[in-house]
Amino acid sequence: MRRCLRGAFTVLLVLLAGTPAAHAASGTAASRPSGPLPLERLFDNTAVSDDQRPGEADFDGSGGSLSAQDLTAAGWTPGRTLTVQGARLTWPRRNSGEPDNVRADGQSVRVRGRGDALALLVAGTGGAGLDGTGTVRYADGGGSAYRLTAPDWRTGPLATKAVALPHLNTPAGQLAGKTRLYVVTVPLARGREVSSVRLPRNRDLHVFAVSVRASTRGWTGSWAAATSGYTAVGPWTDRTLRLVVHTSQGGPRVRIRLDNTFASAPVRIGSATVAVQASGALPAGEPVALSFGGAAWTEIPAGAQAVSDPAGFDVPADANLLVSFHLPGTVTAAPVHRLAVQRSYVSEPGDHAGDGGAGAYTSTLTSWPLLTGVDVGGGPGSVVVLGDSITDGEKSTQDANHRWPDVLADRVRTSAEIPHYGVLNQGISANRVVSDRYPGDGVSTDTGGVSALHRLDRDVLAQTSARTAVVFQGVNDVRWGATADQVIAGLREITARAHARGIRVVAATIAPCEGESLCTAAADAQRTAVNAWIREAATAQGLDGVLDFDAVLRDPERPARLLPAYDSGDHLHPADAGLAALAGSVDLRLLAP
């Protein structure tokens, strides 16, 4: 399990697609060219077969293979470029039955670029997570080692997969059962240009693509929301969603991010716009059209994302935006952030993204489907808050932007002590550090998300220009029986993985919750033990800072309980006053390098 978790801390890749005539390498070190080659020139294994010819591929050495038809249904067609967790990926431009991946055996792969991570599209065929050590070579002649872990294509965690397919092809025919592909990222030396990558030596570790994930300099994250589950919606047919989101920082340009996280099929976006909100679904001015690769529409493959082109639009700080997008097809399920604490709008049939009025928007919703980010041009970067329902804004006033990260953003925006970072709220109600609530695949009513460990790459490391992560989680773990040692191990892993990417980590102590049904004396003992470790860890364990939220919220007369003035009434979630107290207690200097 630990190896799977470590292998999950990753992100993506791009490969320059080769031609179908490209030849596979012999696979032996003695005959392999000494210089680096494009990955497609080294393909020596076939993973994909046609359903009518399942024997034409042998991915795992036992005749098993991926279904070409399943991949097409997911939008993963040959030669298609996808974006996953900020990294661009081109699925190999190969027909079924042709070599389409490399069995890692120390091959030297030509890879160019500067960025924060090396992304690899991988899967293992040896059972448990397979790993090995490789080397990144830089244009200046230096190098750095990396460790790559590939979860198994049939048994690896669904919570961290890039895409899951419903079938397994075998020489005897097709079988029902999930097959998986993973995007894994490993840190790079910042600012240095990559020239090549030497793969590990583990021939049960398969690589389909590799690239450098470009840095996001020149952009600051102004708003974000984490995908908390994949739920039934609508159904929506030929409808436009107009979602209300609140900016932390402003800028002269804008782009949005739409994520098809956890999905099994593509979703089509017919058009998209952005505007400042006047009131309700009414924009303050004519909405500004957004494009995707120069086109007004886009289709997002399963598990992938779409980032709009930069648009000239003066985004104000501390303001509500209306992000509208048309869904021309029928959408019955979608990735959502359930707890928006904000009313958004759904139109009557038709493309109403460009409407300058609100008349077509006749119904409301209180979740954020598909939309996961709004970035603004310029600025110093972002602070990312990784949390649970207290961060998500449970029990705060609807439509008022009283979540504690919103109040923190107000302080950062007016501070003379630190740069004016964007503040990104990646809280998920019911989320835990070390175990999944949502299983990571399929339509589910549970919107507690995958664990902080499983979502760290997507929700923190891949966020736009992330500089510091604030981690405020653990109460749901101890309420549901996790030990302090398990939570502490998870916090240690989060810290190590963030530090490897150059991101600072500030941890907050767990708030008291005596009086809530699951906050037993036993749970409180574990909470207290976690907090003791956090208070010590700033110096002893490598944290960059500590926020003592426990001390801020507790009742001095009964330290295991929330101060009554801060209690929303359920003894677990602070009300607006308590959330404001959390934000007001933050030493802003801890957020800056």
Q: What is the pLDDT of residues 529-584, one digit of tens each?
A: 999 999 998 767 689 999 999 999 999 999 999 999 999 999 999 999 999 999 99
Statement: residue 20 has pLDDT above 70: no
Q: Are 157 and 14 in a shared domain? A: yes
Q: How far apart are CA 204 and CA 110, in angstroms?
A: 21
- CA angle (386, 214, 72) in 5-degree steps: 85
Question: How far apart are the two ends of the chain, measured CA to CA in Å?
Answer: 33
CATH of the domain at 573: 3.40.50.1110
Q: What is the pLDDT of residues 98-147, one digit of tens each?
A: 999 999 999 999 999 999 999 999 999 988 768 899 999 999 999 999 99
Question: Is there a domain that residue 221 lies in?
Answer: no
Q: What percent of the chain has pLDDT over 70?
A: 94
Question: Is there a domain that residue 559 lies in?
Answer: yes
Buried b (16+ CB within 10 A) or exposed e, 143-165: bbebebbbbbbbebbbbbbbbbb
User: Average pLDDT for residues 168-186, to the nearest whole number?
Assistant: 97
* pLDDT at res. 217: 85
* pLDDT at res. 26: 35
The number of beta carbons lying within 10 Å of the beta carbon of residue 589 is 10
Helix (H, G, I), strand (E, B) or coil at 303: coil
Question: Is there a domain that residue 125 lies in?
Answer: yes
The number of beta carbons lying within 10 Å of the beta carbon of residue 38 is 16
Q: What is the pLDDT of residues 427-485, one digit of tens each?
A: 999 999 999 999 999 999 999 999 999 999 999 999 999 999 999 999 999 999 999 99
Q: Are 118 and 97 in a shared domain? A: yes
Statement: residue 34 has pLDDT above 90: no
Last residue of one domain, picked from the residues 377, 408, 429: 377
Q: Are 452 and 534 in a shared domain? A: yes
* pLDDT at res. 32: 54
Q: Are 37 and 176 in a shared domain? A: yes
Binning pLDDT at 50, 70 and 90, where does residue 89 land?
Answer: confident
Question: Is there a domain that residue 220 lies in?
Answer: no
Q: Are 37 and 180 in a shared domain? A: yes
Statement: residue 14 has pLDDT above 90: no
Question: Is there a domain that residue 161 lies in?
Answer: yes
Q: Are 443 and 371 in a shared domain? A: no
- With beta carbons less than 8 A apart as the criterion, state whether 49 and 56 touch: yes
* pLDDT at res. 126: 87
What is the maximum span of the chain, computed from C-alpha positions, in angstroms? 76
Give bridge partners of residue 324 from the DSSP assignment. 242, 273
Statement: residue 174 has pLDDT above 50: yes
Q: What percent of the chain has pLDDT over 90?
A: 91
* pLDDT at res. 2: 37
Q: Are 256 and 132 in a shared domain? A: no
Question: Is there a domain that residue 219 lies in?
Answer: no
What's the total number of domains in the chain?
Answer: 3
- With beta carbons less than 8 A apart as the criterion, state whether 549 and 472 touch: yes
User: If we measure between CA atoms, which residue out of 77, 185, 155, 245 comes closest to residue 457?
Assistant: 185
Q: How far apart, in Å, are the Cα atoms of 397 and each of 71, 343, 369, 400, 557?
A: 44, 12, 21, 6, 28
Token pair in block for residue 121: 């599209």
Q: Are 328 and 398 in a shared domain? A: no
Token pair in block for residue 128: 């448990």
Last residue of one domain, picked from the residues 377, 395, 417: 377
Q: Mean pLDDT across the chain, nearest whole number?
A: 93
Domain that holds residue 241: 226-377
User: Average pLDDT for residues 209-233, to the nearest whole number?
Assistant: 96
* pLDDT at res. 338: 98
Last residue of one domain, picked from the residues 377, 407, 440: 377
* pLDDT at res. 593: 83
Q: From the centroid of its chain, how far is CA 114?
A: 21
* pLDDT at res. 21: 31
Work out the burial of residue 515: count CB atoms within 10 Å of its CB; fewer than 13 is exposed, 13-18 middle, 19 or more buried.
middle
Q: Are 172 and 119 in a shared domain? A: yes
Q: From the centroid of its chain, how far is CA 81?
A: 18
Statement: residue 30 has pLDDT above 50: no
* pLDDT at res. 17: 32
* pLDDT at res. 216: 86
Q: What is the pLDDT of residues 305-332, one digit of tens each?
A: 999 999 999 999 999 999 999 999 999 9
Q: What is the pLDDT of residues 540-552, one digit of tens each?
A: 768 999 999 999 9
Question: Is there a domain that residue 118 lies in?
Answer: yes
Binning pLDDT at 50, 70 and 90, where does residue 190 land?
Answer: confident
The number of beta carbons lying within 10 Å of the beta carbon of residue 446 is 15
User: If we measure between CA atoms, which residue out of 541, 432, 544 comes closest to residue 479?
Assistant: 432
Question: Is there a domain that residue 163 lies in?
Answer: yes
Binning pLDDT at 50, 70 and 90, where does residue 19 land?
Answer: very low
Q: How far apart are CA 527 and CA 521, in angstroms?
A: 10
Q: Are 477 and 524 in a shared domain? A: yes
Q: Are 358 and 391 in a shared domain? A: no
Q: How far apart are CA 327 and CA 325, in angstroms?
A: 7
State pTM to two decimals. Answer: 0.93
Q: Are 356 and 481 in a shared domain? A: no
